[in-house]
Amino acid sequence: MRSLLSVMGGAVALVALLVTLPLLWISTHVANEDGYVAFSSTLATDNELQGAFAAYLSDELTAQGLLPSALRSTATAALTEVAGGASNQPGFVDAWEQTQRSFHRSAFADPTPRVLAVDIGPMAAFVVKRVTDQLPVTLSSPDSVVVPVVSDAQERRSVERLKGAGRLSLMGAAMALAGALVCVVLARRKSVAVGGLGAGAVVVAGLLWISSGPAAQELLDHTAAPSAFARTVQKLLVDRAADSLSAWLVVLAVIGALVALVGAVGRMAAGRTG
Max Cα-Cα span within the chain: 88
Average pLDDT for 202-206: 96
Average pLDDT for 56-66: 78
Q: Are residues 45 and 131 in the same domain?
A: yes
Q: What percent of the chain has pLDDT over 90?
A: 32
Instruction: Please indicate whether residue 56 or residue 90 has the higher confidence score (pLDDT).
Output: 56
Tell me the CA distances in angstroms from 89 to 119, 219, 257, one per residue in order: 20, 33, 42
List beta partners, residue 150.
116
pLDDT at residue 42 in the model: 84
Q: Are residues 15 and 93 in the same domain?
A: no
Q: Are residues 53 and 130 in the same domain?
A: yes
Q: Are residues 108 and 150 in the same domain?
A: yes
Q: Give 42: exposed, middle or buried? Use CB within 10 Å, 0-12, 13-18, 19+.
A: middle
Tell me the CA distances in angstroms from 23 to 12, 65, 119, 228, one per residue in order: 16, 45, 28, 29
241, part of any domain: yes
165, part of any domain: no
Spatial contact of 104 and 237, defined as CB atoms under 8 Å apart? no
Closest-CA residue to 222 (of 144, 152, 146): 152
Domain hosting residue 90, numbered range: 33-159
Supply the mean pLDDT for the chain. 83
Q: Give the range among 74-78, 130-134, 138-142, 154-158 with minimum mean pLDDT.
A: 154-158
59, part of any domain: yes
User: 3-class secondary structure for the chain?
Assistant: CHHHHHHHHHHHHHHHHHHHHHHHHHHHHHHCHHHHHHHHHHHHHCHHHHHHHHHHHHHHHHHCCCCCHHHHHHHHHHHHHHHHHHCCCHHHHHHHHHHHHHHHHHHCCCCCCCCEEEECHHHHHHHHHHHHHHCCCCCCCCCCCEEEEECCHHHHHHHHHHCCHHHHHHHHHHHHHHHHHHHHHHCCCHHHHHHHHHHHHHHHHHHHHHHHHHHHHHHHHCCCCCCHHHHHHHHHHHHHHHHHHHHHHHHHHHHHHHHHHHHHHHHHHHHHHC
Q: How many domains does the chain have?
A: 2
Q: Are residues 10 and 110 in the same domain?
A: no
Q: Are residues 189 and 154 in the same domain?
A: no
**How many CA atoms within 13 Å lie on the side-chain side of 141?**
21
**Rounded to an integer, what distance in angstroms lies between the CA atom of residue 122 and that of residue 12?**
48
Q: Are residues 93 and 124 in the same domain?
A: yes
pTM comes to: 0.84
247, part of any domain: yes
Res. 267 pLDDT band, cuts 50 70 90 = confident
pLDDT at residue 152 in the model: 61
Last residue of a domain, one of 134, 159, 184: 159
